[in-house]
Amino acid sequence: MEDVQAGQTQSAFFVIGITVLTCVILHLIYKTIFGSGNDGEVEKHDTEIDSGNQAEATSDATVTESRTSGKTKKRPTWKGKTDFSHPWLLKNLKGHPGTVLLVDFSANGKFMAATCDETIATVDTASAAARRRRPRDRRRPPSSPPTPSTPQRISTEELVEALRPHLLSPKRMWALGYPLEIEPNSCKAVVYINPPPRPRPLQFTSFDVNAPEFVPGLSQSDSGRGSWGSTPRSDSDEEADAVEHLCVRCDKMFRMTREGEYVVQESCVYHWGRISGDSRHTCCNAPLGSKGCSTARFHVWSGTRPGMNGPLEGYVRARSPRGGVYAIDAEMCYTTAGLELASIAVIAADGRLVYKSLVKPSSPVVDHNTRFSGIRPRDLARATKTLRDVQNDILGFVGSDTILIGHALDNDLRALKLLHGAVVDTCALYPHSRGFPLRRSLRALSAELLGRSVQRGSSGHSPLEDARAAMDLVLLKVHEERASRARVSNQLPILQPYDPLISAA
């Protein structure tokens, strides 16, 4: 009986041992198979938690340092720099001002956390974002306009001596259209107008089959309708006394009576711009010969005709010398008598304003020419001085030897009805490349030589601005000539060939 119990006990211990051994083996097998993966996940989870805590601590420390309050959190010290070479992360970390110490993703895997060393440089996030959003302009930046320059002022005496070689001769004044006195002390002028060639479109001549037959031997005054005695006049007396004028804007002929009334009132369709090099109008870029882009109520004329004009009355001149140098510019408007003075400005050699006034025209105004003159109806409504008053004011400081400066000064003197012999014209100082009678505009000369923009506004020209531009162009010419003479004087003398006669003497 005891042997049976002892065998059962041994069997129980054996089963228990086998069971324990089997559990140990199964545990080792399970740990061997699944233990490494679980450890990696645990370590990764711990690393993410640590990095998230570190990023939060860094952000909290940055926010705390930016505040002005006294509480600050101590920045944890990093054990060492971490090299991270992922291209996407490097691309997004270009804007960091310091050395990157740690780069990793947050615990949820959606955000990137990075830390860097402290540095003095700061990055403006708003400007950086604006730079990232703004597209890059790969075009070449436009060249900056030249800086406006003002020539150095010189004394009046020095300027007078420098300008004497540039005074226009009477022959040159006659060719440029300046008014010249017919006889001494007559106050009657004569003007020769030599207009610049104006390009015209090709026109084909058509024959009128209904034209009256020309009969030789009739009177020269016969216009093709027979003799004046045999054919009754169909025109009225006003039409018979009418004078034909050429419109300076549309190049059409129109008729006006002696009293300045239009025989036929028709609108003027014209181009106000010049003709460019490619035969197009600068105002609307339309080709030459196209219909005008602007419309006016009436045709206008300049008051003069091509060729000889005169004798013209109402002119004045200075009788006694006064000296000095002045620049004059005048603006005109169209009246029934042609161009008449509407505004004038005079400046001295030092740039100060000497005289400026609005002028009331003597004839009815047809067109104020606001685009170029800057004169508006309200300006002439408050003008009180007449042309005679302005002439008396000008002769108060302009003498017979006073040098007057201007751009296309012949137009100003004709409008002012002033006879003067000592003039300097910037059109003659800076001639056109294609020669006379073409002239360069004051706007082009100022932009090229002075770097100054004049006559650009839509409100019209300013006589004060134009007078100062003309004076500065003259001063620039004087300084260039002085510099040229200085360079020539500083050069070494040219060696002459040996001449025994000169050497013996």
Q: Provide the CATH number for the domain around residue 188.
A: 3.30.420.10
d(CA 50, CA 114): 13
For residue 72, the model assigns a pLDDT of 52
| Site of tokens 């045999």 | 230
Handedness of CA 277, 433, 161, 473 (dihedral sign): positive
Residues 107 and 9 in one domain: yes
Asked, for residue 422, whether it belongs to a domain, the answer is yes
pTM for the model stands at 0.62
- Bridge partners of residue 344, in order along the sequence: 330, 357
96 and 162 inside one domain: no
Helices (H), 67-124: 87-92
Rounded to the nearest 10 degrees, the angle between the axes of helix 409-416 and helix 387-394 is 120
Q: How many domains does the chain have?
A: 2
Domain extent at residue 55: 2-66+77-117
Please check whether residue 263 is in contact with residue 257, taking contact to mean a CB–CB distance below 8 angstroms.
Answer: yes
| 89 and 191 together in one domain | no
Residue 394 in tokens:
């000008």
421 with 374, same domain: the answer is: yes
Contact 265, 253 (CB under 8 A): no
Co-location of 174 and 41 in the same domain: no
DSSP H helical ranges for 98-256: 125-133, 156-163, 170-176, 237-240
Q: Based on the domain organization, do 343 and 462 belong to the same domain? A: yes
**Model pLDDT, residue 156:** 92
Which residues are within 8 A (CB) of 112 and not within 5 positions of it... i.e. 6 or more apart?
Answer: 89, 92, 103, 104, 105, 106
pLDDT at 8: 73
pLDDT of residue 263: 92
- Predicted pLDDT at 372: 86
H/E element, 75: none
Is 217 part of a structural domain of the chain? no
Same domain, 399 and 474: yes
* 146 assigned to some structural domain: no
Q: Is 222 within the bounds of a domain?
A: no
> Pairing between strand 423-425 and 403-406?
parallel
Look at residue 212 and tell me if it is in a domain. no
* 413 within a domain of the structure (yes/no): yes
Confirm whether 470 is domain-assigned: yes
- List the one residue out of 59, 66, 121, 120 whose CA is nearest residue 95: 121
What secondary structure letter does DSSP report for 281?
B
Report the pLDDT value the prediction gives residue 119, as an integer from 0 to 100. 45
Does 349 share its domain with 456? yes
For residue 302, being part of any structural domain is answered with no
DSSP labels for 422-471? -EEEHHHHS--TT-TT----HHHHIIIII----S-STT---HHHHHHHHH
Could you give the C-alpha distances from 322 to 186, 398, 403, 472, in angstroms and in order? 22, 6, 10, 23
Closest Cα to residue 427, out of 212, 177, 84? 177
Q: Distance between CA 366 and CA 361 in Å, rounded?
A: 11
Other Cβ atoms less than 10 A from the Cβ of 204: the count is 4
By the 8 A CB rule, do 420 and 397 touch? no
Instruction: List the chain pLDDT tens, one digit each, 505 residues.
Output: 566 676 777 788 888 888 888 888 888 888 787 765 555 554 555 555 555 555 454 445 444 444 444 445 555 555 554 554 555 454 455 555 555 556 666 666 665 655 555 444 444 555 555 555 555 555 555 555 556 678 888 999 999 999 999 999 999 999 999 999 998 888 899 999 987 556 555 444 454 555 555 444 443 333 333 333 334 444 455 556 789 999 999 989 999 998 889 999 899 999 988 888 788 888 898 998 889 999 999 999 999 998 999 899 999 999 999 999 999 999 999 999 999 999 999 999 998 999 999 999 999 999 998 888 888 999 899 999 999 999 999 999 999 999 999 999 999 999 999 999 999 999 999 998 888 878 898 989 999 999 888 877 656 678 999 999 999 999 999 999 999 988 887 765 665 666 665 555 4
| Same domain? 105 vs 162 | no
Q: How far apart are CA 341 and CA 414, in angstroms?
A: 9
Report the C-alpha gap between 298 and 365 in whole angstroms. 11
The pLDDT assigned to 178 comes to 96
Q: How far apart are CA 65 and CA 59, in angstroms?
A: 10
Predicted pLDDT at 61: 46
Same domain for 26 and 91?
Answer: yes
pLDDT value at residue 31:
78
Last residue of a domain, one of 57, 89, 117: 117
Q: Are residues 354 and 452 in the same domain?
A: yes
Write out the two tokens for 61: 């420390």
Clarify whether residues 112 and 163 are in a common domain.
no
Q: Say what the pLDDT of residue 55 is.
A: 47
